[in-house]
């Protein structure tokens, strides 16, 4: 492999990992707070769709991004209400929302775009950081990326700081591990969990927007193709730590990038096997490569004050 | 409490919950159907035309009825599997993948297992058994991961589904696997047609009403499952594990065994559904043949709230809903995605409605 190809591989791994990184970080916060949020798949799909429609209708990808965040909010709120206030089974609600969104976006896509399905949708601009972008070979291939990638990485870094060093981080952690203690300290478990789910919604919205207007500048039906579930697998693989989740997402991103890279190297591997690879890796990851699992103790259990 | 006392109290609590849950299920379906009608109206399609197309696609011809019933068979099998696993408090979301591996196995054995010359029924029974085994294997993987690593079965069955779907794609794309010999570059990525002897016999023997023998088989399975879940020690053990694995363990019920048996059974039923679809209707393995079936079966299982009779009702509902939806798309131009919207609404409404039924936390 030449350096040029390697640089392209690193660049595309990073690009393909971004939706997982964003959604995975959101899911991590939600799960730390105690809500297993299966609906990030649906939230990402809503985000991808709303961003595409918004960018196409207004002609401005930035407005599209804004519309996307606004559009995902009700979906996240629905999940939050169902899993906290109505104490519904979180897995069932998540799957219900995902089916609903897949149907809804497909329906709306056909209605809005119909025959115009090949129309170009304006996408987010690329940006390369000053010094890094000037590195020979790597500068262009790795660091010349959509600005949302850098914004996303900044948000993830900020999330890491908040989780690690602030009282907010402690409260989120406690809401998932010892909800009763949070309740006794006078903080509402329900509110903490609402915020966790809404944050996951916000991050999934960005992830969806990155897919449609950041990466390929179009929307296709069901375009998330299980990326949300991969993000959840990444959280498990990362043992519910942010650094672990990030590494897992990067690994899945690299596995996805392989399917475009190996054929150019003349390696003859069945295409299907390559497409399958991230899911296979994720299965191995959640199936014990990561060792015994240490989920937040109250994960998936609605909190009921007695 | 003695076994009998536990059972009595369970029956009592079930009886108390039964009626409101049926009412709520029916109400959720009706409300979602109403939203569907509103959406059709909003799409600017004539509602009466859409309804006419829907009815024509479900009940219009004997063929349409048979196609809907065949579809319902697959949903019912996946749904029954879901209910069995759910007794042990497990959520099997992997129907899609289990159907896919069942279909692959059935095709492989029907085409290359020399079943042609076997005596009568064996030539389709053996491919069906292969489908069951394949599905069982796929379900067991999730079971093993659950026991050995504590992996949440929702995630593992979902990921296994994605893997199975791409496995199917691989099988029909690769001439070394199940793709039919490439005679020209235009050869479609699909398998050869299975031999005549491997095709499931039709109930009437008449292609204008092609309900296959999967129907009576499914009915028998449903009855057996219903009896096993409600009347046998095994059914009680499953439920005990679902309520409290630790307490069940103290009572000598092996959690690991219950997890394995229930997930393997759910997988086997999914595999059988795939086998039926292949040998009874499609005859040719194609990419995406299982698409949507797993989720429909899952939703049928959810909707049934643990009752096998409920699964059958929901499976029939969805079988006809799908057929009607497809005809609505072809005739009236209403995208079939509408059916998914309706299903999603049903699931979300029911999940939320559980709160109002005073269920156990």
Q: Residue B204: pLDDT above 50?
A: yes
Same domain? B28 vs B74: no
* Among candidates A91, A287, A302 on the partner chain, residue whose Cβ is nearest the Cβ of B156: A287
Can you say whether the dihedral through the CA atoms of B146, B152, B158, B159 is positive or negative? negative
Mean pLDDT score of chain A, rounded to an integer?
87
* Among candidates B155, B350, B352 on the partner chain, residue whose Cβ is nearest the Cβ of A286: B155
* Among candidates B159, B343, B345 on the partner chain, residue whose Cβ is nearest the Cβ of A233: B159
- State mean pLDDT over B111-126: 84
For chain A, the structural domain boundaries read 3-113+158-289
Range of the domain at B34: 23-45+334-356
Q: Bridge-partner residues for B24, per DSSP?
A: none
Same domain? B278 vs B348: no
Q: Residue B285: pLDDT above 90?
A: yes
Secondary structure (3-state) at B260: helix
A92 touches chain B (CB under 8 A): yes
Whether A91 and B361 lie within 8 Å, measured CB to CB = no
Least confident of A38-42, B202-206, B321-325, B356-360: B356-360
Same domain? B27 vs B87: no
Q: Provide, as residue numbers in chain A, all residues whose Cβ is less than 8 Å from the Cβ of B158.
A: 226, 229
Whether B158 and A103 lie within 8 Å, measured CB to CB = no
Q: What distance, in Å, lies between the first and last C-alpha atoms of chain A? A: 62
Q: Residue B221: pLDDT above 70?
A: yes
- State mean pLDDT over B48-63: 88
The confidence score (pLDDT) of residue A40 equals: 94
Confidence label for B360 from pLDDT (cuts 50, 70 and 90)? very low
A14 touches chain B (CB under 8 A): no
- Judged on CB neighbours under 10 Å (0-12, 13-18, 19+), B147 is middle
Same domain? B270 vs B339: no
Q: Residue B96: pLDDT above 90?
A: yes
Chain A nearest CA to B204, separation (Å):
36
Task: Note whether residue B7 is domain-resident.
Answer: no
Sorted by sequence, the CB contacts under 8 Å of residue A17 that are 6+ apart come out as A249, A250, A252, A253, A254, A256
Q: Residue B164: pLDDT above 50?
A: yes
Q: Residue B286: pLDDT above 80?
A: yes
Q: Provide, as residue numbers in chain A, all residues whose Cβ is less than 8 Å from the Cβ of B346.
A: 96
Chain B nearest CA to A125, separation (Å):
32
Q: Domain A3-113+158-289, what fold?
A: ABC transporter involved in vitamin B12 uptake, BtuC (1.10.3470)
The confidence score (pLDDT) of residue A210 equals: 93
Q: Provide, as residue numbers in chain A, all residues whose Cβ is less than 8 Å from the Cβ of B325.
A: none
What's chain A's length in residues? Answer: 306
Q: State the number of CA atoms in the 13 A half-sphere of A199 facing the CB.
A: 22
Secondary structure (3-state) at B202: strand
Which of B352, B353, B357 to mutate to probe the A interface, most A CBs <10 Å?
A: B352
Whether B159 and A111 lie within 8 Å, measured CB to CB = no
Confidence label for A236 from pLDDT (cuts 50, 70 and 90)? confident
Secondary structure (3-state) at B286: strand
Confidence label for B235 from pLDDT (cuts 50, 70 and 90)? very high
Q: Residue B108: pLDDT above 80?
A: yes
Task: Note whether residue B14 is domain-resident.
Answer: no
Q: Bridge-partner residues for B310, per DSSP?
A: none
**Torsion-angle region of A241 (φ positive above 0: left; ψ -120 to 50: alpha; else: beta):** beta
Q: Say how many domains are in chain B.
A: 2
Same domain? B165 vs B190: yes
Which of B340, B345, B353, B357 to mutate to probe the A interface, most A CBs <10 Å?
A: B340
For A86-113, what is each residue's pLDDT tens digit?
Answer: 888 888 889 899 999 999 999 998 888 8
Confidence label for A290 from pLDDT (cuts 50, 70 and 90)? low
Same domain? B78 vs B97: yes
* Among candidates A103, A279, A280 on the partner chain, residue whose Cβ is nearest the Cβ of B340: A103
The confidence score (pLDDT) of residue A260 equals: 79
Q: Residue B34: pLDDT above 50?
A: yes
Same domain? B264 vs B321: yes
A272 touches chain B (CB under 8 A): yes
Same domain? B135 vs B229: yes
Same domain? B29 vs B173: no
φ and ψ of A219, to 5 deg: -120, 135
Secondary structure (3-state) at B212: strand
Same domain? B148 vs B31: no
Report which of residues A116 and B170 the model is more confident about: B170
Same domain? B238 vs B340: no
Report which of residues A123 and B315 the model is more confident about: B315
pTM: 0.87
The confidence score (pLDDT) of residue B361 equals: 35
With CA atoms as reference, the chain A residue closest to B301 would be: A92
Q: Provide, as residue numbers in chain A, all residues whose Cβ is less than 8 Å from the Cβ of B298.
A: 95
Q: Residue A17: pLDDT above 50?
A: yes
Task: Note whether residue B11 is domain-resident.
Answer: no
- State mean pLDDT over B265-270: 97
Whether A283 and B163 lie within 8 Å, measured CB to CB = yes
- State mean pLDDT over B93-119: 90
With CA atoms as reference, the chain A residue closest to B340 would be: A103
Residue A278 CA to residue A244 CA, distance in Å, equals 16
For A103-145, what is each residue's pLDDT tens digit?
Answer: 999 999 888 887 666 677 888 878 777 777 777 777 777 777 8
ipTM of the complex: 0.87
With CA atoms as reference, the chain A residue closest to B171 would be: A272
Residue B36 CA to residue B171 CA, distance in Å, equals 37
Which of A49, A95, A301 to mutate to probe the B interface, most B CBs <10 Å?
A: A95
Which of A20, A36, A91, A103 to mutate to probe the B interface, most B CBs <10 Å?
A: A103
Residue B255 CA to residue B263 CA, distance in Å, equals 12
Chain A nearest CA to B343, separation (Å):
7
With CA atoms as reference, the chain A residue closest to B170 would be: A272
Same domain? B126 vs B264: yes
Task: State which H helix or E strand residue A149 sits in.
Answer: helix A147-165
Q: Residue B76: pLDDT above 50?
A: yes
Chain A nearest CA to B196, separation (Å):
30
A135 touches chain B (CB under 8 A): no
């Amino acid at each position: 492999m030449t350096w040029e190809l390697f640089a392209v591989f690193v660049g595309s791994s990073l690009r393909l990992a971004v939706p997982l990184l964003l959604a995975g970080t959101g899911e991590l916060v939600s799960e730390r707070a105690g809500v297993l949020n299966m609906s990030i798949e649906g939230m990402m799909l809503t985000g991808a769709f709303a961003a595409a429609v918004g960018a196409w209708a207004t002609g401005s990808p930035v407005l599209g991004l804004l519309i996307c965040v606004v559009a995902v909010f009700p979906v996240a709120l629905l999940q939050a209400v169902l899993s906290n206030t109505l104490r519904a089974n979180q897995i069932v609600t998540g799957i219900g929302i995902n089916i609903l969104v897949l149907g809804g976006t497909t329906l709306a896509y056909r209605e809005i775009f119909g025959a115009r399905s090949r129309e170009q949708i304006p996408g987010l601009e690329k940006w390369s950081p000053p010094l890094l972008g000037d590195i020979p070979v790597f500068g262009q291939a790795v660091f010349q990326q959509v600005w949302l990638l850098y914004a996303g990485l900044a948000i993830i870094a900020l999330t890491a700081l908040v989780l690690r060093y602030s009282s907010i981080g402690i409260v989120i952690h406690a809401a998932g591990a010892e909800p009763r203690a949070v309740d006794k300290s006078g903080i509402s478990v329900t509110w903490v969990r609402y915020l966790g789910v809404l944050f996951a919604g916000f991050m999934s919205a960005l992830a969806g927007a990155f897919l449609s207007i950041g990466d390929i500048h179009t929307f296709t039906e069901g375009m998330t193709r299980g990326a949300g579930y991969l993000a959840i697998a990444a959280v498990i693989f990362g043992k519910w730590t942010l650094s672990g989740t990030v590494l897992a997402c990067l690994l899945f991103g690299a596995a996805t990038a392989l399917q475009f890279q190996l054929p150019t190297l003349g390696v003859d591997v069945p295409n299907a096997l390559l497409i399958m690879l991230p899911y296979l890796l994720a299965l191995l990851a959640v199936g014990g490569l990561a060792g015994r699992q240490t989920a937040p103790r109250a994960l998936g259990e609605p909190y009921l004050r007695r | 409490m003695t076994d009998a006392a536990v059972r009595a109290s369970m029956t009592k609590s079930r009886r108390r919950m039964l009626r409101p849950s049926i009412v709520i299920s029916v109400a959720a379906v009706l409300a979602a159907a109403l939203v569907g009608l509103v959406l059709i109206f909003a799409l600017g399609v004539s509602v009466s035309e859409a309804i006419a197309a829907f009815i024509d696609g479900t009940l219009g011809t004997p063929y349409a009825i048979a196609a809907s019933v065949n579809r319902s068979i697959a949903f019912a099998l996946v749904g029954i599997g879901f209910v069995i696993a759910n007794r042990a408090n497990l959520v099997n979301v992997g129907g899609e993948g289990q159907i896919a591996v069942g279909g692959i196995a059935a095709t492989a054995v029907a085409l290359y297992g020399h079943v042609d010359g076997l005596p009568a029924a064996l030539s389709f029974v053996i491919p069906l058994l292969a489908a069951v085994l394949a599905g069982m294997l796929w379900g067991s993987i999730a079971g093993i991961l659950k026991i050995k690593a504590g992996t949440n079965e929702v995630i593992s069955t979902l990921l296994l589904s994605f893997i199975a779907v791409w496995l199917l794609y691989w099988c029909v794309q690769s001439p070394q696997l199940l793709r039919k010999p490439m005679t020209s570059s235009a050869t479609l990525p699909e398998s050869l047609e299975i031999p005549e002897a491997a095709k499931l016999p039709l109930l009437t023997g008449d292609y204008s009403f092609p309900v296959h023998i999967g129907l009576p088989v499914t009915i028998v399975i449903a009855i057996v499952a219903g009896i096993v879940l409600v009347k046998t020690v095994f059914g009680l053990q499953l439920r005990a594990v679902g309520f409290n694995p630790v307490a069940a363990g103290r009572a000598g019920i092996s959690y690991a065994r219950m997890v394995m048996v229930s997930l393997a059974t759910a997988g086997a039923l999914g595999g059988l559904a795939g086998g039926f679809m292949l040998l009874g209707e499609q005859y040719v393995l194609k990419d995406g043949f299982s698409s949507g079936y797993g989720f429909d079966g899952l939703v049928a299982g959810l909707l049934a709230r643990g009752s096998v009779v409920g699964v059958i009702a929901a499976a029939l509902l969805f079988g006809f809903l799908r057929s009607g939806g497809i005809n609505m798309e072809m005739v009236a131009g209403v995208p079939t995605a509408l059916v998914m919207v309706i299903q999603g609404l049903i699931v979300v409404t029911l999940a939320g409605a559980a709160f109002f039924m005073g269920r156990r936390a």
